[in-house]
Structure 1
Amino acid sequence: MYMNDPSHTTLLKEIAEFLNEETEIDAMLQGALTKLLQGTKFETGWVFFINERGRSELVTHVSLPPALSYNGCDHLKKGGCWCVSRYRTNKLQKASNIIECQRIEAAIAADVGDHQNITHHATVPLQSGHERFGLLNVATPNTIRFNEEELELLESVAFQIGSAIKRILLTKQAQEMALVQERNRLARDLHDSVNQLLFSVTLTARAGVELSVDSDVKELFQDVQSLTQEALTEMRALIWQLRPKGLEGGLVDAIKSYAEMLGLTLQTNVTGVIQLPSRIEEGLFRMMQEGLNNVRKHAGVTKADFYITVTATDVLCILKDDGRGFSPKNEKSLPSVGMQSIRSRVEAFQGKVEWISEIGKGTELFIRIPY
């Protein structure tokens, strides 16, 4: 057995030490897979993450032959596959040889590059306890089957990687909980202190307007009242962003409530059934917050339209206004902070974002997120 092989024992120790130090899943997978290939006869490998809906995603790969890496690993990302199918039906429990791989066969048949004699691969599920994350696949040129010793080694490495994924996810979950608690505390502090002070200034300025006889003084108090009211609206928007209320009532209602808080009238249109993971739901809410902020600050209108379409694979959100618009070619005129925030959030979900706008003809924000 492999445990009697000093080289394998050393390799497992090196991988374990590496995994214990990593805090990011992408870097961890890339590094662990690289070490596995360097210490064995395996020459290439790739990892699929598979979500609860059975959707597979190629998350990392090392030393792929040109046929498999062609066009952004197009053939590995599309088509059927025995290992993914067995994983989805919960029939893949341990490291196994794959008799045939439709994705590799499709890449070879397409003749898009040298497959370097990679025709078959071994696969093993990545899991921690009863929680499953995806698949680790490895291959070697001119190799149809790997022996039991190699499969057992692969299984041990997969167990280590699965445990590391679970540890990183738990750590991030704890960090997110701490961040939510801190945001809630900051929101309470802003509401109880700064928000109340601004409200008091507004009342004082209003009283100054009513009591002043001098027109210049009255105008000054009116300016103070207007500026303070604007600051109050900004503060309430900030508190909403720190501690969103209303998501328990659904994404659309929360977005509509936020628009009302900004003084906007939002017409909503829904296609499909909104049953999204909470992470996706909150992410979309944050993106729409930024979009509505831009409407209020830059569009010069008080009405907007919101469309959301949910399919089996993704969700499309459109925010449309008939305001001032802008020239996408003129980067200096863009509300860059808000737009960059939206772009960053969308990219974090591997989604796509686009703005369509023209001076005097309004703006449309398109966001598509897979799930």
Structure 2
Amino acid sequence: MEGVPLSKIIQNSELLILKEIAELLNESTEVEKMLPEVLNKLLNVTGLEIGWMFLVDGDGGYRLVAKESLPPALSLNDCSPMCSGECWCINRYNIGRLHKATNIIECKRIEDALAIKSGATNGLTHHATVPLRAGDEKFGILNVGSPNKTTFEPSELALLESVAFQIGTALKRIRLSQKEQETALIAERNRLARDLHDSVNQLLFSLSLTARGGMEMTDDEGIKETFSYLQDLAQEALGEMRALIWQLRPIGLEHGIVSSLKAYGQMLNLNMRTKISGVAGLPGKVEEALWRIGQEALANCKKHSQSADVDLSLMVANHKVEMEITDRGCGFVYMEQNEIPSLGLKSMKTRAESLNGTFHLTSAPGKGTQIKIKIPI
């Protein structure tokens, strides 16, 4: 481009890179899908070859959420060298000393791989590391490198920092949007619970009173039996309605998951023994999941176990929460390699796994049923 200064060409190229990445970020609403796409775009437009991203939680735990062209030494066993252990960038991030794009002199993960001769490194020895942040809020780390590239120019670091800031801003936007959706969902559940209580619940109560009054107004045994049957149906429907309202708006959840589940069990006329260890405040999503899983498990105990005796255990330790619900009822034939036998049990498993947790079901005829949930926090 004759007559245009080289600095201007470089500046225009950087602006184009930022524009393309910004468009991709603005279109995305799913973090797990967005970050690999952004990383791929960044490497393509910058000419760099290797990259990966970590998301880091408030306790310093990290997970690999995006990767591109990792050498065999780092991609071994489904990228296990990238998913555990310490390194300079994670340590620096966790102690609050990683504020901007930085040259990493040597990659500790590569050093460890070379020391144990776990595979080829394809010439990767160094990388740049950049915090993903929006203002003072931090989300994780972007790392990029290329074979035999040992340093990054200030202009390259500035560009990476701009991209990382865009990513951080997009992550904050998505999280705020998710919180808004969760708040709206809770509000809608509360509204529906109020409507059911004020309308259907009251109608069923009136039906029960009417049936009882009808029984008292007649001496005909056939009519009495009909009114009695209507009253029993109304009472059963009232019980189902109260359980449904509880599911929509659990009373007492503000006092903790154990208090809420105990109250729900009492409403179902279950005899519950509880054991609690190390429980403090749980993240909202985790508490919500445990509540939904617990209510389904207790409802199953009421409907299927043929026993009113239930044990509830909740333990928090080592950055995870573990909940067990066990009945001493009839049980059923189940082997872990088999498909989970009901929609309710499958729903419990899905809820636990959506938070990177695990679900285990144990049951045998005459020996009761146990569910065990583990969720990282």
> Given the two structures, how large is their TM-score scaled by the length of structure 2?
0.91
- Structure-2 separation of matches of 1:176 and 1:271: 29
Deviates more, 1:107-116 or 1:274-283: 107-116
Is the 1:75–1:104 contact (alpha carbons within 8 Å) kept by the matching residues of 2?
no
Is the 1:327–1:333 contact (alpha carbons within 8 Å) kept by the matching residues of 2?
no
Partner residue, 1:353: 359
- Letter of the 1:327 partner, please give it: V
Partner residue, 1:256: 262
- Structure-1 separation of matches of 2:221 and 2:111: 84
- Structure-2 separation of matches of 1:333 and 1:151: 51
- Letter of the 1:197 partner, please give it: L
CA separation of 1:212 and 1:121: change in aligned 2, threshold 3 A: farther
* Residue 166 of structure 1 pairs with residue 172 of structure 2: yes
* Residue 72 of structure 1 pairs with residue 92 of structure 2: no
- Structure-2 separation of matches of 1:65 and 1:84: 20
- Structure-1 separation of matches of 2:328 and 2:141: 48
Q: 1:210-221 alignment to 2 at 5 Å?
A: 210-211=216-217, 213-221=219-227
Partner residue, 2:293: 287
Deviates more, 1:89-98 or 1:235-244: 235-244
**Residue by residue, what CA displacement relative to the aligned partner does 1:210-256 show, whole Å, maximum 9, x if unpaired?**
55544444443333333322222221121112112212212211111
In structure 2, stretches of 5+ residues that fail to align are: 1-6
Partner residue, 2:147: 141
Q: Offset at 1:87?
A: 0.8
CA separation of 1:53 and 1:290: change in aligned 2, threshold 3 A: same
- Structure-2 separation of matches of 1:273 and 1:45: 39
- Structure-1 separation of matches of 2:271 and 2:300: 14
Partner residue, 1:175: 181
CA separation of 1:62 and 1:333: change in aligned 2, threshold 3 A: closer
CA separation of 1:298 and 1:63: change in aligned 2, threshold 3 A: farther
Is the 1:326–1:333 contact (alpha carbons within 8 Å) kept by the matching residues of 2?
no
Is the 1:47–1:60 contact (alpha carbons within 8 Å) kept by the matching residues of 2?
yes
- Structure-2 separation of matches of 1:242 and 1:74: 41
- Structure-1 separation of matches of 2:319 and 2:339: 36
Deviates more, 1:131-140 or 1:203-212: 203-212
* Residue 189 of structure 1 pairs with residue 195 of structure 2: yes
**Residue by residue, what CA displacement relative to the aligned partner does 1:140-192 show, whole Å, maximum 9, x if unpaired?**
12222222222111101101001111111111222222111111111110110
Name the SS for the 1:39 alignment partner.
helix
Partner residue, 1:96: 102
* Residue 364 of structure 1 pairs with residue 374 of structure 2: no
Partner residue, 2:3: none
Is the 2:36–2:65 contact (alpha carbons within 8 Å) kept by the matching residues of 1?
no
> How much identity, in percent, do the aligned residues show?
50
- Structure-2 separation of matches of 1:110 and 1:225: 75
* Residue 207 of structure 1 pairs with residue 213 of structure 2: yes
Q: Offset at 1:303?
A: 1.7
> Given the two structures, how large is their TM-score scaled by the length of structure 1?
0.93
In structure 1, stretches of 5+ residues that fail to align are: none
- Structure-1 separation of matches of 2:356 and 2:321: 12
Q: Offset at 1:331?
A: 6.8
Q: Return the match for 2:28 from 12, 22, 25.
A: 22
CA separation of 1:62 and 1:198: change in aligned 2, threshold 3 A: farther
Partner residue, 2:326: 320
- Structure-2 separation of matches of 1:38 and 1:95: 19
* Residue 34 of structure 1 pairs with residue 40 of structure 2: yes
Name the SS for the 1:316 alignment partner.
strand
* Residue 7 of structure 1 pairs with residue 4 of structure 2: no
Is the 1:2–1:149 contact (alpha carbons within 8 Å) kept by the matching residues of 2?
no
- Letter of the 1:295 partner, please give it: C
- Structure-2 separation of matches of 1:2 and 1:320: 70
Deviates more, 1:223-232 or 1:289-298: 223-232
**Residue by residue, what CA displacement relative to the aligned partner does 1:129-149 show, whole Å, maximum 9, x if unpaired?**
111111111121222222222
Q: Offset at 1:333?
A: 8.5
Q: Offset at 1:64?
A: 2.1
- Letter of the 1:284 partner, please give it: L
Name the SS for the 2:234 alignment partner.
helix
- Structure-1 separation of matches of 2:78 and 2:238: 48
Is the 2:279–2:314 contact (alpha carbons within 8 Å) kept by the matching residues of 1?
no
- Structure-1 separation of matches of 2:38 and 2:237: 51
Is the 1:264–1:304 contact (alpha carbons within 8 Å) kept by the matching residues of 2?
yes
CA separation of 1:208 and 1:108: change in aligned 2, threshold 3 A: farther
Whose Rg is larger? 2
